[in-house]
Chain A
Amino acid sequence: MDASNYLYISALLFTIGAVGVVVRRNAIVVFMCIELMLNAANLSFVTFSRINGNLDGQVMAFFTMVVAACEVVVGLAIIVAIYRSRRSASVDDASLLKR
């Protein structure tokens, strides 16, 4: 087995996450799909780190994890704030700018 198989699976997971962001309507599920995309990117960072034989990729993946944690905290706070004002967690309902 070649180490690049991990890269293929990372590409697949990233694509699935992207489809989820577009297709699903629940804001929390959309958010989880974004997390899936970040995780897929992390997997390719780790794999490239192994292919190239240095630890830079792992440090980058570590930074990505911290940024993802920040993003989850702020994003979920936004979802809770929207839910408080509009009583819905659907991404279709927050469309004040359109009307």
Chain B
Amino acid sequence: MMQLALEVGQTATPEAVMFWILGPLAVVAALAMLLVKKAVHSAILMAFVMVVLAVFYIAQDAVFLGIVQVVVYTGAVMMLFLFILMLVGVDSSDSLTETIKGLRPIAITAALGFGGLMVSLLGRATLGRDAVGLSAANADGNVEGIGYLLFSRFVWPFEVISALLVTAALGAMVLAHQPRSSKKSTQRQQSINRFRGESLATAAGLPAPGVYARHNAVDVPALLPDGTPAPNSVNASLKARGDMLDSNTFDLKKISTQVEEEK
């Protein structure tokens, strides 16, 4: 029945239902992608749009592309995006403030014009024309059909694109490579630094950061036996980020030890 409906050029009813549910959802998700503040939320919404597009591909007899869309885009590309987001960190550039004056109204006006132009052009270009459908082209199977085209008519672009992939991988390696600024110290050198360094006080290692019951505590310096905090017990990068907490607030003296009488 599905094949019959495709041959007439009109899509079957289940596909229409699927389209009118998922299509608006995809547009809303894409719009929300622009409006949400955090880049991570944008990435999740983007993944949703990509999954919806995969469903659209499969509904339009492009089974191979639908699977590739899920595997390559939502699988590899979005994971790469999330990975870089976690690496770079969420910073102040997430804010939605307008940095160039008057950019937003101009952009929205231009987008409305462009979108209207595209939709009206598409309407004129395809109005009243029946879709042929892919039942004839997919007669031997979708993967077989695409494979046949890839290795006959499109074999040259296919080879060129493999060169492009290799070049991109090399380029990413060159761009992301960072030479060591200092020589890596050997175990022998570390041992010499520890015992013949400035003092023997830290020869047995630095004190561990304090673990208090009221706080989850790599960022709280340990209290030495005399009650003073030991700042070198906290990781240097936490200190540089300003994430070190004052351990005085966890001092037991500050806690009220009075017991109220129960009535």
Known: A46-B60, A84-B178. A89 touches B77 (CB 8 A): no
* Least distance between B155 CB and chain A CB atoms (Å): 11
- Count A interface residues, CB 8 Å: 74
How many residue pairs between the two chains, A and B, have CB atoms under 8 Å in the bound complex?
A: 234
A32 proximity list for chain B (CB < 8 A): 33, 42-43, 46, 81
In whole angstroms, what is the CA distance A24 to B92 when docked? 12
With A and B bound together, what is the CA distance between A60 and B259 in angstroms? Answer: 77
Contact pick for A28, options B85, B154, B168, CB 8 Å:
B85
Q: Which of B99, B142, B150, B157 contacts A25 (CB 8 A)?
A: B99
Identify the closest chain A residue to B126 (Cβ). A4
Q: Shortest Cβ distance from B71 into chain A, in angstroms?
A: 10
Segment among B115-123, B200-208, B225-233 that sits at the interface with chain A: B115-123
Question: Which of B131-139, B182-190, B214-222, B246-254 binds A?
Answer: B131-139
Contact of A49 among B9, B62, B172 (CB under 8 A): B62
For residue B244, CB closer than 8 A to chain A, the reply is no
A residues 60-99 near B (Cβ < 8 Å) are: 61-63, 65-74, 76-81, 83-84, 88-93
Question: Does B53 touch A at the CB level, under 8 Å?
Answer: yes
**A16 touching B46, Cβ below 8 Å:** no
Knowing A7-B126, A12-B27, A36-B30, the reply to whether A72 touches B134 (Cβ < 8 A) is no
Question: Nearest chain A CB to B83's CB is how many angstroms away?
Answer: 8
Known: A29-B42, A42-B53. Contact between A9 and B111, CB under 8 A?
A: no
Closest Cβ–Cβ distance, residue A37 to chain B (whole Å) = 10
- Chain B contact patch, size range: 35 or more
Check A19 against B34 for contact (C-beta < 8 Å). Answer: yes
Residues of B contacting A91 with CB < 8 Å?
A: 93
Check B56–A6 contact: CB distance below 8 A: yes
Instruction: State whether B26 touches A90 (Cβ < 8 A).
Output: no
Contacts of B157 in A (CB 8 A): 63
Residues of B contacting A88 with CB < 8 Å? 91-93
By Cβ-Cβ distance, the 10 closest A-B pairs, closest first, are A53-B132, A90-B93, A70-B168, A77-B175, A15-B115, A1-B16, A11-B118, A3-B131, A77-B172, A4-B126
Sampled A-B contacts (24; CB under 8 Å) = A1-B10, A2-B131, A6-B60, A7-B122, A9-B26, A12-B115, A12-B119, A35-B46, A39-B50, A43-B53, A43-B57, A47-B60, A49-B60, A49-B62, A50-B62, A50-B131, A59-B146, A61-B65, A65-B65, A65-B73, A80-B84, A80-B87, A83-B88, A84-B178
List 19 additional A-B contacts (Cβ < 8 Å) besides A69-B168, A76-B80.
Answer: A4-B127, A5-B19, A6-B56, A7-B126, A8-B123, A12-B30, A13-B27, A32-B46, A36-B30, A39-B53, A50-B133, A51-B129, A65-B65, A76-B172, A77-B175, A78-B175, A89-B91, A89-B93, A92-B93
Q: Which residues of A contact B (CB under 8 A)?
A: 1-9, 11-20, 22-29, 31-33, 35-36, 39, 42-43, 46-47, 49-56, 58-59, 61-63, 65-74, 76-81, 83-84, 88-93
